[in-house]
Amino acid sequence: MALTSSPELGDLAARLDRPIVLVGLMGAGKSTVGRKLADMLGVEFVDVDHEIEAAANLTVGEIFERFGEPHFRDGERRVFARLIGESQGRGMVIAAGGGAFSDAGTRALIVERAIAVWLDSDDATLAERATRRDTRPLLRDGDPEAKLAELRAKRRADYGVAPIWVKSGRGAHHRVAIDIARSLEMWIERWIG
Ligand SMILES: Nc1ncnc2c1ncn2[C@@H]1O[C@H](COP(=O)(O)OP(=O)(O)O)[C@@H](O)[C@H]1O
Ligand SMILES: O=C(O)C1=C[C@@H](OP(=O)(O)O)[C@@H](O)[C@H](O)C1
Ligand SMILES: [Mg+2]
């Protein structure tokens, strides 16, 4: 299937029986490409960071600063449990924050009840994209590219658990979204039929 026209994308969306979760390092495009992918498929889009911010009435940066990262991970796990529960039996695109898939409980939820897609790019591209806005507490101190390389080393094995890997290169957002849709289609064909 060519997967360039909306009927074909609609066909793929109709076959989704669980949410798609985009995982990967900061700057990969999970939030922006994820929204494009959901629009293309005609399914709901949710960004977990935004859900946490709305529930806490604080920014991600403020939550890290006031309560620490473990507290943020607990909230993140609760949001995933709710969203994944709500979206069983249908399609939805969920943009995870970069560290979510390295929390054992969150990862187990995603692996068992969603389709994880590891969206990836090289560290220089990630650093450039992730520092366009000063919203990421883990990149506030030191050299962003070095920090991303350190996080990659720590998280690589976790991201590797995702059954689908897509490169978020220099192409436009919709190009990357189409690449994800193609990979999903092949995965569903093979494993769900
Ligand atoms: N394929 C792409 N091409 C160009 N810019 C991109 C691409 N993917 C993401 N970006 C840009 O990089 C920045 C970070 O993207 P975002 O979706 O917030 O990443 P993430 O949620 O993975 O941290 C945003 O400014 C976004 O527009
Ligand atoms: O990698 C991480 O641990 C984080 C990534 C961020 O999300 P994005 O990956 O969408 O930037 C956000 O959840 C928080 O700043 C922590
Ligand atoms: Mg994001």
74 marked as part of a ligand binding site? no
pLDDT of residue 29 exceeding 90:
yes
Reported in sequence order, the residue ranges of the chain that DSSP labels E, i.e. its strands, are 20-23, 44-47, 92-95, 115-120, 164-167
pLDDT of residue 4 exceeding 80:
no
Sorted by where each begins, the domain ranges of the chain are: 14-183
pLDDT of residue 25 exceeding 70:
yes
Cα separation of 1 and 148, whole Å? 36
pLDDT tens across 156-171, in order? 999 999 999 999 988 8
Within a 10 A sphere around the Cβ of 131, how many other Cβ atoms?
17
The helix/strand count (H/E) of the chain reads as 9, 5
| Ligand 2 mutation pick, 123, 136, 139, 141, max ligand atoms within 8 A of CB | 136
For residue 143, the one-letter residue type is: D
pLDDT tens across 89-110, in order? 999 999 999 999 999 999 999 9
Residue 20's DSSP bridge partners are 93, 115
pLDDT of residue 18 exceeding 80:
yes
Mean pLDDT over 5-16 rounds to 84
pLDDT tens across 67-78, in order? 999 999 999 999
Strands 164-167 and 115-120 come out as: parallel
CA 74 to chain centroid:
17
pLDDT value at position 5?
Answer: 61
Q: What distance in angstroms lies between residue 140's CA and the mean position of ligand 2's atoms?
A: 12
Yes or no: domain 14-183 corresponds to CATH 3.40.50.1000: no
Residues 6+ apart with CB under 8 A from 170: 125
pLDDT tens across 118-156, in order? 999 999 999 999 999 999 999 999 999 999 999 999 999
pLDDT band at 1 (very low <50, low <70, confident <90, very high): very low
- Can you give the pTM of this predicted structure? 0.97
Cα separation of 45 and 42, whole Å? 9
The atom number, within ligand 1, closest to the CA of 47 reads 21
Q: What distance in angstroms lies between residue 26's CA and the mean position of ligand 2's atoms?
A: 6
Mean pLDDT over 170-190 rounds to 93
Mean pLDDT, the chain, rounded, equals 95
Place of tokens 């909230």: 75
